[in-house]
Amino acid sequence: MKTLLVNITIALCFVFGLHTTSVFSQVDSQEIDSLVMRAMEKFTVAGVAVAVVKDGKVIHEKGYGIQSIATNKKVTEHTNFGIASNSKAFTTATLAILVEDGKLSWTDKVIDYIPEFKMHDDYVTQHFNIQDLLTHRSGLSLGIGDLMFFPDGSDFTMEDIIYGFRYFKPVSAFRTKFDYDNLLYLVAGEIIARVSGVSWEQFIKERIFEPLSMDRSFASITYITDTSTLASPHINKGTTLSLTEAERWDPKNLNGAAGGIYSNVNDLTQWMLVQLNKGKYGPRLENALFTEASQREMWKIHTTTNASKNPRYQSHFAGYGLGWFLNDAKGTMVVSHTGGLMGMLSKTLLVPDLNLGIVVLTNTYIDGGGVFSAVTQTLLDKYLELDDFDWVTYFSEQIKGNSSDADKVVAAVWETINQADASSLILTDYAGVYEDPWFGKVEITIKDHSLWFTSLRSPKIAGKMHYYKANTFVAQWANDALIDADAFVMFQLDEEGKAQGMTMKGISPAIDFSYDFQDLNLKRVQD
């Protein structure tokens, strides 16, 4: 799902504006209704919720569609969705509060709070600071180690996460390149717990949700006891919707600092307003969640990325702050983030100079990403007083094209499998137990004359293996929630033809980057 979000963001860089009729800078609820309904007609989604704040006021908050195809209950402004990586900004705000409390400094070393934290390189270990946890500049590869918590259901703990970093090999020099990371946000959540004496979840509740009266928001889905206003996650295949399981992580094992929050557009208006009010809140802005200085730090580019090439926006810079993507459009700064869980896709977009905030929550993968992109981009254009551009159609065609291209790649692999001759294979040469230093043990067994792959620590990663060619098989995962995640398994053989190790990589170009099979290096440890 996160791969989809990255692809949509990249796509914006190459679209040229279509100039037709002029529009006005103020948007009313009726226009937003019309936009959302058109998007929902073009995309296949169960439910959507949208809120817009402008000039210190909530001008729109509304739900559309249904919470679940099983109940047909309507989405409202109080319906809770998983906001996924939009939680990262809550984590950085929490750290800002601790900085202002005098409990830590942004540039404090991670090992000052977590002495057992160790990177592959000793220099990096000694110099890795709190901001390095938040800015995706570690030198590690995209999504490395995410298999420890994605998909959900594994038995990895924070201790395992922290210990695993010593085995992650860098792909770029420290602090030189942007590569999105989730695990380091979990480490940030652990620092919050150790410094404050309460869990990340409890701190978020007491120091952010309660002051902002975000009374229906939760730092973990496991805390939701009344599910009557909880959106269910869906998957769309073409125009067909199906339910999928909600991803759940036990806060006792792993904190939610990278993406655990469930919220609704009614509560998130308060979150957007406190951001646009430079940390202040209350009827007369008499209270402060954090200072303007802290906000400047969070909205300062710490890691650069490529600016948009789209002449429509005349952009000159882009980068990542602390929990926020930052760029300019028509001379004004845009602050945003997306979020993706299985069946839960969202986007928050703020334009401080226009005192504008937009949030879109959806409960469908894949088309939910098209909806949040089309809605936020269209509203941004209207407030920037740009001429009309049909973002709904554009993103619809983009998603269909990407899906078609990915399907062709996967189909070609299965055509090869169907034609492969596996009659000479000696399956016992491959069967055994293999181990990766951070992911743990994987067992290859023989079931019904075929190899079977089982992760001993992440049980959803299990399935039948099909012979492809040479020493390569394809693992077809049995759990339907692992969408587009089937993987090549490449065995290394000794001189007798017996497997001694294996590496992996995803098949589909649409695979979520959190399925980081390519980072595994599994060695045989037992026959």
pLDDT tier, 20 (very low <50, low <70, confident <90, very high otherwise): very low
Q: Which residue has the higher pLDDT, 267 or 24?
A: 267
* Residue type for position 237: K
pLDDT at 22 > cutoff 80: no
pLDDT at 8 > cutoff 80: no
Least confident of 19-28, 108-117, 188-197: 19-28
Q: What are phi and psi of 41, to 5 degrees?
A: -75, -30
pLDDT of residue 500: 98
CB distance 323 to 91 below 8 Å: yes
CA distance linking residue 286 with residue 12, whole number of Å: 39
Q: Which of 467, 453, 454 is nearest to 425 (CA)?
A: 467
pTM: 0.94
pLDDT at 12 > cutoff 50: no
- What is the rounded average pLDDT of the residues 5-10? 48
Distances (CA, A) of 48 to 172, 347, 364: 39, 11, 9
pLDDT tier, 5 (very low <50, low <70, confident <90, very high otherwise): low
- What is the rounded average pLDDT of the residues 380-403? 95
pLDDT at 357 > cutoff 70: yes
CA distance linking residue 161 with residue 219, whole number of Å: 20
Q: Tell me the HSE value of 175 on the side-chain side, using a 13 A CA sphere.
A: 11
Q: Tell me the HSE value of 99 on the side-chain side, using a 13 A CA sphere.
A: 21
Do you find a cis peptide bond into 151, omega within 30 degrees of 0? yes
CA distance linking residue 465 with residue 451, whole number of Å: 5
Q: Which of 369, 269, 323, 476 is nearest to 10 (CA)?
A: 369
pLDDT tier, 26 (very low <50, low <70, confident <90, very high otherwise): confident
Q: Whole-number mean pLDDT of the chain?
A: 94
CB distance 434 to 523 below 8 Å: yes
Q: What is the pLDDT of residues 461-515, one digit of tens each?
A: 999 999 999 999 999 999 988 999 999 999 999 999 999 999 999 999 999 999 9
pLDDT tier, 222 (very low <50, low <70, confident <90, very high otherwise): very high
pLDDT of residue 128: 98
pLDDT at 18 > cutoff 60: no
pLDDT at 11 > cutoff 90: no
pLDDT of residue 481: 86
* Residue type for position 402: N
SS3 (DSSP) at 221: helix
Q: What is the pLDDT of residues 119-132, one digit of tens each?
A: 999 999 999 999 99
pLDDT at 458 > cutoff 50: yes
Set out the domains of the chain in order of their start, with CATH numbers.
2-403 (3.40.710.10), 427-526 (2.40.128.50)
pLDDT of residue 342: 93
Q: What is the pLDDT of residues 435-450, one digit of tens each?
A: 999 999 999 999 999 9
Distances (CA, A) of 123 to 115, 120, 152: 15, 9, 33
pLDDT of residue 25: 54
pLDDT of residue 310: 85
| DSSP character at residue 348 | E
CB distance 340 to 369 below 8 Å: yes
Does the CA dihedral 388-394-396-397 come out positive or negative?
positive
CB distance 163 to 218 below 8 Å: no
| DSSP character at residue 85 | G
pLDDT of residue 2: 58
pLDDT tier, 23 (very low <50, low <70, confident <90, very high otherwise): very low
pLDDT tier, 289 (very low <50, low <70, confident <90, very high otherwise): very high
